Chain A
Amino acid sequence: IVMTQFPATLSVSPGERVTLSCRASQSVDSNLAWYQQKPGQAPRLLMYGASTRATGIPDRFSASGSGTVFTLTISSLQSEDFAVYYCQQYNIWPPLTFGGGTKVEIK
């Protein structure tokens, strides 16, 4: 299953609302996760089951979708949210597949 994320880069000001998109080449039901990765760090799980926040993730992060179209929303972007975000499907595997990532950068 090919995962496609868009846009590749988002230029955003702190405090703005951000929506990231992820599309699967075939249905993955709700078996989709989102990760955040900052430079020099390992990825961190944000969401699983398409819309469930992982432990310790602030509620400004939300996600939705099922089937082939998914979104991750950050309601009010904080300085620590500038990072690369990846989606990943775990519905039909192997292989487990990631999207190419969306970089959220400061405008």
Chain B
Amino acid sequence: EVELVESGGGLVQPGGSLRLSCAASGFTLSTFEMYWVRQAPGKGLEWVSHIHYSGTPIYYADSVKGRFTISRDDAKNSLYLQMNSLRVEDTAVYYCARDLGWHDAFAVWGQGTMVSVSS
């Protein structure tokens, strides 16, 4: 069964850091485009970052560029999001997602992990 499981969320103070993980099963993560998408409480969906199946290119939303870093560990079949200099407005549920393989639509989603940035 194809599955994505996120972890690593929590409560952090403004300016702090967190590292989110996304463990993939049922498929080889390095053969698909992978993404992070977030959703602030009561709000819509916002794309955060993307990593090509080859490892490059990597893209970020302007709102996180220079603060967030997406990476992948093929041996662990896992995706990561290192989040530094966190802001209150980064508070959201963070989802990892996988594309279809032939369309850049998000075909597989994790259950999400909550990140709360507050003093």
**Could you tell me which A residues sit within 8 Å of B by CB distance?**
31, 33, 35, 37, 42-45, 48-49, 54, 86, 88, 90, 93-101
Number of interface residues of B (CB under 8 A): 21
Which residue of B is nearest A43, CB measured? B109
A99 to B109, CA, bound (A): 18
Inside 8 A of B100's CB, which chain A residues have their CB? 45, 48, 54
Residues of A within 8 A of B1 (CB): none
| Docked-complex contact B106 and A45, CB < 8 angstroms | yes
Minimum Cβ distance to chain A for residue B42 (Å) = 11
With A42-B95, A42-B110, A94-B59 as known contacts, state yes or no: A88 contacts B105, CB within 8 Å.
Answer: yes
Residues in chain A near residue B107, CB distance under 8 A: 45, 48, 54
A42-B112, A97-B47, A98-B47 are contacts. A33–B105 as well, Cβ < 8 Å? yes
Kindly identify which residue among B44, B103, B111 contacts A42, using a CB–CB cutoff of 8 Å.
B111
A86: chain B residues within 8 A (beta carbon)? 44-45
Bound complex: CA of A53 vs CA of B81, how far in Å?
30
CB contacts (< 8 Å) of A101 on chain B: these are: 44-45
Query: A100 to nearest B CB, angstroms?
Result: 5
- Contact of A31 with B45 at beta-carbon distance under 8 Å, contacts A42-B109, A42-B111 already known: no
- Of the A-B pairs whose beta carbons lie under 8 Å apart in the complex, a sample of 19, sorted by A's number, is A31-B104, A33-B103, A33-B105, A35-B106, A42-B95, A43-B95, A48-B103, A54-B107, A88-B105, A93-B47, A93-B59, A93-B104, A94-B50, A94-B59, A95-B59, A95-B61, A96-B35, A96-B47, A101-B44
